[in-house]
Amino acid sequence: MKSFNILRSFLLTFLSLTAALDAAEPAAETKPTAQGKHASSIPVPRIEKWWFALQSERIGDMAEKDIDVLMIGDSITHGFDAVGAKYWKEVFEPLKALNFGAGGDLTQHVLWRLDHLPKPKKEPKVAVLLIGTNNIGWGSDTPKQAADGIQTIVHKLQELYPTTKILVLAVFPRRADPDHPHRKQINEINSLLPDLLKDLKNVSLLDIGPKFLDEKGILSKEIAPDTTHLSEKGFEIWTRALEPELKKLLGEQ
């Protein structure tokens, strides 16, 4: 407990320092760097207290718990703590999963969070990654930049956990209408992922997005009430599609 409090104090101190730096210089989250590498592939924290508090909690979990499955993402994954809690308890808890989602994250935020974790008791057997929708939703990345950010996260996971099997989920559909610009951008991200991931060891790609859509490609409010975040029904669809894939990767089937 003492070491946890020290670490939490460190993170809060870092928050204050970073906030001061942020006030002095404009954030560069959506700008290319001088080296030509886009911000989507460069670790950066978010200057929000709740976000650091959540990271502190995850640090404690990683240091103390026996984790087989690491579920990495943004608010959609984070939603297993609330709307999807029933399915988390039913399916993911028995698989020793840790919810490593954080609402609002872009790829660069996930990279920072992965950079600031303790070494676990043992490497996770499986890491599931769903990220990228916010890079085009409220970030200003192109689909290619968002896809590059996803690939960079996969490289980071391989570096951190060399034996872990990585399952990348194609970005879920966003917006009701299949002709909405966000939907088209997400389709483009997903079209780039096979080539970006095809030669990477222990990496597979799964697209369950079509399961959320009706025969006309519409994302209904029954599945995603705000056309982005899943309802309980949406979490059920996700869980039922992911469960057999996870069990295969875990060697349970």
Q: Which of 81, 115, 214, 226 is catalytic?
A: 226
Per the residue annotation, which of 61, 75, 180, 182 is the catalytic one?
A: 75
How far is 159 from 233, CA to CA, in rounded Å?
A: 35
* Annotation marks residue 116 as catalytic: no
- In three-state form (DSSP H/G/I as H, E/B as E, the rest C), the secondary structure along 151-199 is HHHHHHHHHHCCCCEEEEECCCCCCCCCCCHHHHHHHHHHHHHHHHHCC
With 0-12 / 13-18 / 19 or more C-beta atoms within 10 angstroms meaning exposed / middle / buried, residue 16 is exposed
Alpha-carbon dihedral sign for residues 110, 114, 116, 122: positive
Q: Known catalytic residue: 3?
A: no
Instruction: Note if 115 is an active site residue.
Output: no
The contacts of residue 171 (CB under 8 Å, 6+ apart) are 130, 131, 132, 133, 186, 189, 190, 209
172 class by beta-carbon count within 10 Å (0-12 exposed, 13-18 middle, 19+ buried)? buried
- Of 243, 242, 227, give the one whose Cα is nearest residue 182: 227
Beta bridge partners, 167, equal 128, 204
Rg from Cα positions in the chain: 18
Q: What are residue 141's phi and psi, to 5 degrees?
A: -80, 155
Q: Three-state DSSP class for 142?
A: coil
Please check whether residue 139 is in contact with residue 74, taking contact to mean a CB–CB distance below 8 angstroms. no
Residue positions annotated with a catalytic role: 75, 226, 229
